[in-house]
Amino acid sequence: MKKPEFIPKLGQIQSCVIPQIKQALGPLFFATSLGRKKGNVINNGSFAYVATHHKNLLVTCHHVWNGFLNERKKIPNLQLCGCFDDKTPIPFCTLPDGTANKPIDQDKQMDIAVFDMKPFEHYVKDKNFFFPNHVPESMVNINDVIAIIGCPGKQRIDLGHAVGWGRQPYIGFVSEIIGFKIKVDFTRMMSFNRELTINPTDKDPATTGTSGCPCFVFRSNYKPYLIGFVTEHHIQFKNEVQITCSNCVNEDGTLKSPMSFC
């Protein structure tokens, strides 16, 4: 494989890239109760804050949203919650007025679900909403450096009085681009820890819970551009992830057809 033209320095990533992207995401989790903290979370994913010229959006995976709906059939009191202000979990399956929340659009093939954040804007004033990759500087090429940051369940802190979440960055290189799918290879770049490496004997990959998290391309100026969302975090137990291109999101929050990327 051709050697990348740009090899980033981990120190520069930590000081320049991570501070810009760490407020561009958060955890979505399935909770049986908001009153009882310990042991009430049964699963989680991640989400990305996305901006268009008309809306602020929350983007996560189709399988995260529909996984919650399927679990709620078994556990009627189950809630899907988001940590928007990093302090208080907010029910996201219902709107503040008590009505059911529904995505603006969703697509199973691209594994994306998009929600309007206007009802929750009070909680996200200090968050970074990134525009999808529509400008030349954010176009993606093979061997580009990619920063991924998510909320893996392995870093959930389950205390008696609260539940905490860690944000974990991973750095890799684009290895393949096919239609709306981008594959990112982590074998040629040391991440901030080695937990991305998949062990086939593990019950769950270390990245479980990062589905829906944002992915950014950056080059020698270390300026990040949103280019996608993690949709498959362990591809046949290889040390790579698959992401869906962020330019699948239209200005109004609807999604392009997967066929438009062919």
Residue 4 lies in a domain: no
Q: Which of 16-20, 117-121, 153-157 has the lowest mean pLDDT?
A: 153-157
Same domain for 148 and 162? yes
CATH number, position 54: 2.40.10
**Domain boundary pick from 63, 91, 123:** 123
From the number of C-beta atoms within 10 Å of its C-beta (0-12, 13-18, 19+), residue 133 rates as buried
Residue 167 lies in a domain: yes
Residue 175 lies in a domain: yes
Tell me which residue of 165, 178, 223, 140 sits closest to 25, measured CA to CA: 165
Residue 102 lies in a domain: yes
Same domain for 36 and 99? yes
Pairing of strands 41-51, 56-60: antiparallel
Residue 113 lies in a domain: yes
Same domain for 153 and 195? yes
Same domain for 99 and 153? no
Same domain for 245 and 153? yes
Domain that holds residue 100: 23-123
Same domain for 164 and 219? yes
Same domain for 200 and 161? yes
Measure the CA angle with vertex 229, ends 208 and 126; round to 5°: 95
Same domain for 116 and 174? no
pLDDT, tens only, 47-81? 999 999 999 999 999 999 999 999 999 999 999 99
Same domain for 30 and 106? yes
Residues 6+ positions from 98 with CB-CB distance below 8 Å: none
What's CA 36's distance to the chain center, in Å?
27
The whole model's pTM is what? 0.89
Task: Tell me: pLDDT of 157 over 70.
Answer: no
Write down the pLDDT at residue 160: 59
Residue 5 lies in a domain: no
Same domain for 42 and 154? no
Residue 3 lies in a domain: no
Q: What is the mean pLDDT of residues 204-208?
A: 62
Structure token pair of residue 198: 């998949």
Write down the pLDDT at residue 248: 95
Whole-Å CA distances, 60 to 52, 69, 136, 194, 219: 16, 14, 25, 25, 25
Write down the pLDDT at residue 189: 58
Same domain for 106 and 157? no
Q: What is the mean pLDDT of residues 135-141?
A: 77
Domain count, the chain: 2
Residue 82 lies in a domain: yes
**Domain boundary pick from 80, 95, 123:** 123
Residue in this structure with the two tokens 């820890």, named with its chain if needed: 193
**Domain boundary pick from 77, 96, 123:** 123
Q: Which of 56-60, 126-130, 140-144, 233-237 has the lowest mean pLDDT?
A: 233-237
Mean pLDDT of the chain: 84
Same domain for 82 and 210? no
